[in-house]
Amino acid sequence: MMKATFAIAAIVMSGFVLHYHIRMNRVRNSQSVLFDVMVVSNAVTAVTDLVQIFLKAYLGSADYRLFYIGSFLYFCTHTLIVPFLFVYVYSNVRTWREMGKSLRCVIVAPLVLAMLMVFLNPFTDWIFYYLGDGTYVRGAFLWTLYACSAIYLLGIAYVIIRFRKNFIHKRIRTIVIGVTVCLIAAVLQGVYKDSSLETMAIAFTGLYFFLMIQNPRDQIDAEYPVLSRQAFGDTVRYWLVGKKRFDIVALNVPDLRKIEVRRAEDNKQEMEEIFSFLRDCAPEAELFHLSEGMFAFIIARPPQGYVDKMISRIMKRFQEPWQGFKGEEILPVKALRLRVPDEIPDESVFNGVLNKFATVGVAGTVMGVGDFELHDIERNSKISAALVSAIDKNRLEMRYTPIWSLKKKRIVGVEVAVRFYDDEIGYVYDDEIFKYAERSGHVLRLSEMVFEGACSFYDKNLLAYRNIDMLSIRIYPSMRLQFGMMDKLMETVKAHGIEAGTITLLLSEYTMSVVNDNFKAEMKKLADSGVNFCLEEYGSGYTDISSVYDLPISMIKINKGVLRAAVRNEKARVTMESTLELAHELSMKTAVSGVEDERYYNLIPDMPCDYATGNYFFEQLDEEGFRRLLEDREEAAHK
């Protein structure tokens, strides 16, 4: 009776998962397909178990051949589950179609051997057999199936450890818990042979996976009732790998960001009207929210003229006003149409075109692939790939720029940067690195590495005892979206025994322009602990000085372009001097970057400027070069 209960529980859980996953899932990717196959396989296994139980109950030992067929089907489906689980986990790294033939052969070999043993069982009795009275007997080579499962489970452990950076923590935790439950059930079933514990445990794991990492609700955007950027990437990747034909229509509505940022309740009606229109204008297409003001449709194998009519309708509607809380608003839009894979053969080029579209183009226009320099986009893709490789192999080079105090006439701090070298594209420097890291989703991991490298450098070289009391490190826009990220970075600072007041976090004007309430709260908490914040690249155009009024900014750093203009233009010089004076009146320190030669240096001594960086003072150095510089200056000071 207990065995029937376990089998029924497995069928009910599998049926629930399949019903909701197939019904609600709107994004096709390799993981969804593999997940469905695993759940179906286990459901069939549970059904064969249950059928056998009822046959034994009603037929007794009348005809053991029926039991044999049931056991044969049980092993056919049950043997597939763990190999498919391995491929499911490995698909976080690369999909089956993206794997090389040799790797596929290695992955498939244990499964082929196990299935061969099962299919030969009617002639060999290697796995199981029945006695004449209907008694089930385990075969001498049943252990080969357990060995096959063990190989794939070890493979899962290897993938999670080797490629752990490709997984989010929630996914790793879910997979580990699910596999552990199945292992415990397998051991117990080895002890209690007449049970369906293993089948029920696998069904429970499927339910757990469904709730934690395969839930279709996770495909929905966090703010709007449409599919998310993650779901968009999964769909594009799955269809590109499968070489399926589809069209993409991307929309960029820059002014919509103003509405999204306001986040007032009064905007709800306007946003609902916009999303309702977008969904209704293309009911056969899937609508995705990519970022602030950016949307995309994916249309599978559209009929002739369908996409042109859809774009025409969208462009016409956006020429008309939308009803907002400030009255009627015109929201200019630009569109991009891509035919995949005819025009865009791979994912990297596709992402490059989409990212470029976000920054170029004129409102009211419809762009195509011919409006982009694919050569430059391909180079950008190479940089992105090289960056990922540099991060994975830890080939990043830390660079250090001495900060010169104009009052104390000595080095008082160090500004941290990073670069890497690639054989094909040469050196890639700080600005480009973080730009591509932001786009590829690696900026958080990169920031952790930079923080660890900078703090280790400061600690190892005893800079606190050498009067270097400022360690400047950049933070980037996407870090504001990661809850607890700043706390995690500050834990690195504390682990190296560095005082919070030593740290100066550099924020660009663009980062300041997209600061949200959560990040403001984190900034205040860090400032209260002693951390300094510097608004760098001031004058690049995103903000004015009023943007610091409600933020704990303790320093302003003038953009080198402003300094260059001040050398050539008297009005620019007066503006720069006034800005520095105003910053001092607001009790902020001031700094200037890009002091390359004597022309620039001669401009700043008479201005209210505290710190400066540039080749006039010192070039950017590696760790050894910075250490030698300090030693040389210390030796000269003692003479």
DSSP structure string for 601-625:
HTTSTTSS--EE-STTT---B-HHH
Q: What is the pLDDT of residue 263?
A: 47
Query: Once rounded to an integer, what is the mean pLDDT over residues 157-170?
Result: 81
Q: Which two tokens stand for residue 331?
A: 């929201």
| pTM (predicted TM-score) | 0.59
Q: What is the pLDDT of residue 264?
A: 47
Q: How far is CA 461 from CA 117, 412, 454, 496, in A?
A: 63, 14, 11, 12
Indicate if the pLDDT at residue 513 is higher than 70: no
Amino acid 531: pLDDT:
92
pLDDT category at 165 given cuts 50, 70, 90 is: low
Mean pLDDT of 420-426: 86
Lowest mean pLDDT among 394-398, 540-544, 586-590: 540-544
Q: What is the pLDDT of residue 440?
A: 65
| pLDDT greater at residue 272 or residue 267 | 272
Share of the chain above pLDDT 90, in %: 30
**In the prediction, which pLDDT does 383 show?**
83
Q: What is the mean pLDDT of the chain?
A: 84
Is it the case that residue 152 has pLDDT exceeding 90?
yes
pLDDT tens column, 12-36: 999 999 888 887 777 777 788 889 9
Q: Hunting for tokens 């991009």 — which residue is that?
A: 336
41, HSE (Cβ side, Cα atoms, 13 Å): 19
443 vs 553, which has greater pLDDT?
Answer: 553
Q: In 509-615, where do the E strands start and end? A: 532-538, 555-558, 589-592, 611-612
Q: What does each C-alpha distance from 129 to 70, 124, 240, 554 come to in angstroms?
A: 12, 9, 47, 79
What domains are defined for the chain? Answer: 2-217 (1.20.1070.10), 220-372 (3.30.70.270), 400-417+442-637 (3.20.20.450)
Average pLDDT over residues 221-247: 79
Q: 554-587: per-residue pLDDT in tens?
A: 999 988 888 889 998 999 889 899 989 989 998 9
> How many CB atoms within 10 Å of residue 443?
22
Asked whether the predicted pLDDT for residue 153 surpasses 80, the reply is yes
Q: What is the distance between the alpha carbons of residues 157 and 163, in angstroms, rounded to a whole number?
A: 10
Greater pLDDT, 63 or 156:
156
Could you tell me if 561 and 593 are in contact, meaning their C-beta atoms sit under 8 angstroms apart? no
pLDDT of 84: 92
What pLDDT is attached to residue 7?
86
Instruction: Please determine, for residue 325, whether its predicted confidence score (pLDDT) is greater than 50.
Output: no
More confident residue, 477 or 329: 329
438-495 residue pLDDT tens = 766 677 778 888 889 999 999 999 898 899 999 999 887 666 555 566 777 888 888 9
Region label for 163, one of left (φ > 0), alpha (ψ between -120 and 50) or beta (otherwise): alpha
193's CB contacts (< 8 A; 6+ apart) are 138
Which one is predicted more confidently, 25 or 159? 159
pLDDT category at 624 given cuts 50, 70, 90 is very high
Phi and psi of 126, rounded to 5°?
-70, -35
pLDDT confidence band for 613 (50 / 70 / 90): very high
Q: Residue 369 above 90 pLDDT?
A: no
Question: How much is the average pLDDT of 41-68?
Answer: 78
| Residue 74, amino acid | Y
Contact 574, 584 (CB under 8 A): no
Identify the helix (H) or strand (E) that includes residue 397: strand 397-405
Work out the pLDDT band at 382, boundaries 50, 70, 90: confident
Mean pLDDT of 247-271: 68
Are 53 and 110 in contact, with CB atoms under 8 Å apart?
no
Residue 71 CB partners (closer than 8 Å, separation 6+): 48, 52, 128, 130, 136
Distance CA 201, CA 204 (A): 5
* Position 542 pLDDT exceeds 80: no
Query: What was the pLDDT predicted at 622?
Result: 93
Location of structure tokens 């999204």? 260
How far apart CA 251 and CA 285 sit, in angstroms, is: 14
- Residue-level pLDDT at 326: 58
Radius of gyration of the chain measured on its C-alpha atoms: 31
Instruction: Answer yes or no: are the C-beta atoms of 538 and 509 closer than 8 Å.
Output: yes
Tell me the average pLDDT across 277-303.
Answer: 86
Q: Are strands 410-422 and 397-405 parallel, antiparallel or unpaired?
A: antiparallel
Is a pLDDT exceeding 60 seen at residue 384? yes
- For residues 120 and 235, the model is more confident at 120
Res 501: pLDDT: 93
CA 498 to chain centre: 30
Higher-scoring residue by pLDDT: 150, 55? 150
Q: Which residues pair with 300 in a beta bridge?
A: 246
Q: What is the structure's pLDDT at 400?
A: 95
Higher per-residue pLDDT: 316 or 3 = 316
